[in-house]
Amino acid sequence: MKHITCIEDLRELHRRRVPKAFFDYADRGSYAEQTLRANREDLEQIKFRQRVLVDVSRRDLSTTILGEPAAMPLILAPVGLLGMQHGDGEIHACRAAQAAGIPFTQSTMSICSIEDIAAAVDKPFWFQLYVMKDRGFVRALIERAAAAKCSALVLTVDLHVHGQRHRDIKNGMTVPPELRLNNLIDIATKPAWALSIARGKRKTFGNIVGHHPGMSGVTVLSKWVAEQFDPTLSWKDVEWIKSLWPGKLILKGILDVEDARAAVKNGAAALVVSNHGGRQLDGAPSSISALPAIADAVGGDLEVMFDGGIRSGQDIARAVAIGARSCMSGRAYIYGLGASGEPGVSRAIEIMRNELDITMALMGITRIADIDRSTIVNWPTRQPYEKG
C-alpha cells in the first residue's frame, strides 16, 4: 500500500477491481452531474494562508464529535450497498473507522444488517435512517438501532424521491437489477471481487430482508425499496422520530439556512450540510458554498457537519476553516473499500489524516480548534439563502 499515496490512487484501483456497474454507482452523480462537479470545484477554490516560523513540532488532530472524543474531525458517511463493493463491506469499513478513532455510519440500505455489524465490532456506531412509507418498518429499525446501542441516529432528509443517475440505468443497476451479458463478462474478469462477495455473509439488503414474511430475493427487495421512499416526508415525521429515538439525532441533507433554523427548532443535535454527494438535486449549490451561511446562522445552536467532495486532508481543513465542526466522507473511503477491503479503508483514512497533519503544520497551526476563517485567504462568498 505504500505506493498508494492519495485518494485518486485508491479510486483507480477500485475502478480496476470492482465491476463497472458498482464503480459507477459509487463514482457518479445525478443528471448532468453539475452539483457533483461543483462540490469539488468550489472546495478547490479555497486557498490557505501559508504561515512560517511557528513551532509546529507538536500537532494535535483530535477533536470531539457530539461530545465524544475523535482522533480527527472525520466521520465515515452512510453509504448504501457497501457490501457489494467488497464482501461484508459495512463490517470492514466500521472496523477501519473504529481502529482509526472516528465514527462510522451504517446506511439503512446496507448489505450487512445492524445486528451483523454490532456483533462484529467493539464500539458503538451510528445508524442512518431513511423514512419509508411503511412506518412500522421505520419504527422497527429505530428500535433495532437502539437495541444495538447505536450512538447517534442520522436522519437523511434529502432522498424522499430519487434523483436519476443515468449511468445506473445504462449499467443495468435498475429495479429490478438487470443481469446483462456484458455485466456477467465484466464480473468474470474481477475474480478477487467475486470471491469476496461470495464469502460475504449476505447478498441483499440485510436490514430489510425478513421484514415481511416471504420477502427475500434481491428483485423483490429492490422493488419494495424503490416504492417505499416517501415524498410526504415532513417536519412532523422528524417530531415523531424524535419521540421514538432516545439518543442524539442528526439531520443529514440540509442546504438551506431556513431548513437549518428549523432543524434547531426541532431539537436536532447536529445537521450535515450536504447535497448527498451530488446524487440528488442536480443544479443545487455545492455543499461548501452553502456552508458559511448555515454555520453563521446555527453554528452556535447545534453541531454543523459537512459533506460533499472531501477527497483529502486539505479538504477537511477547508471545511473546518469555513465553519464545519467535522466532515463526513463518502466516496473517498468507498474507493478504499473497493480497492482492498478493510486495509483500503484504513489507508483512505490514513492518507487524509496525514494530509491534514502536514497541511496544519504548513499553515503554522497545531490544533484543530485553531483552523478558522482567519487561516484561509478566501471562501465561497455566495450566500444564496438570505431573503431580501
Ligand X SMILES: Cc1cc2nc3c(=O)[nH]c(=O)nc-3n(C[C@H](O)[C@H](O)[C@H](O)COP(=O)(O)O)c2cc1C
Catalytic site includes residue 160 = no
Between residues 19 and 78, which has the closer beta carbon with respect to ligand X? 78
User: Interface with ligand X includes 97 (CB under 6 A)?
Assistant: no
| Total Cβ atoms within 10 A of residue 262 | 17
The amino acid sitting at 314 is Q
Which residues, listed in sequence order, are joined to residue 362 by a DSSP beta bridge? none
Instruction: State the minimum distance, in angstroms, from the CB of residue 274 to ligand X.
Output: 5
Strand pairing category for 270-273 and 248-254: parallel
Residues 149-178 that bind ligand X (CB under 6 A): 156
Determine the Cα–Cα distance for residues 153 and 145; give it in Å rounded to an integer: 8
Per-residue interface string for the shown chain with ligand X, residues 100-139, x marking contact by CB under 6 A: -------x-x------------------x-----------
Burial label, 330 (beta-carbon count in 10 A; 0-12, 13-18, 19+): buried
Instruction: State the minimum distance, in angstroms, from the CB of residue 22 to ligand X.
Output: 9
Determine the Cα–Cα distance for residues 202 and 189; give it in Å rounded to an integer: 22
**Active-site residue (options: 14, 86, 92, 276):** 276
Per-residue interface string for the shown chain with ligand X, residues 269-298, x marking contact by CB under 6 A: -----x-xx-x-------------------
Instruction: State the minimum distance, in angstroms, from the CB of residue 210 to ligand X.
Output: 19
User: Interface with ligand X includes 90 (CB under 6 A)?
Assistant: no
User: Interface with ligand X includes 30 (CB under 6 A)?
Assistant: no
How many residues touch ligand X (CB under 6 A)?
25
User: Interface with ligand X includes 336 (CB under 6 A)?
Assistant: no
Which residues, listed in sequence order, are joined to residue 156 by a DSSP beta bridge? 252
> What DSSP character marks residue 32?
T
From 35, 329, 340, 375, residue interacting with ligand X (rule: CB under 6 A) = 329
User: Interface with ligand X includes 28 (CB under 6 A)?
Assistant: no
Burial label, 378 (beta-carbon count in 10 A; 0-12, 13-18, 19+): exposed
Determine the Cα–Cα distance for residues 361 and 384; give it in Å rounded to an integer: 33
Strand pairing category for 152-156 and 126-129: parallel
User: Interface with ligand X includes 315 (CB under 6 A)?
Assistant: no
With contact defined as beta carbons under 8 Å apart, do 175 and 228 qualify? Answer: no
State the residues that interact with ligand X by CB under 6 A.
25-26, 39, 77-80, 107, 109, 128, 156, 252, 274, 276-277, 279, 307-310, 328-331, 334
- Catalytic center residues: 276
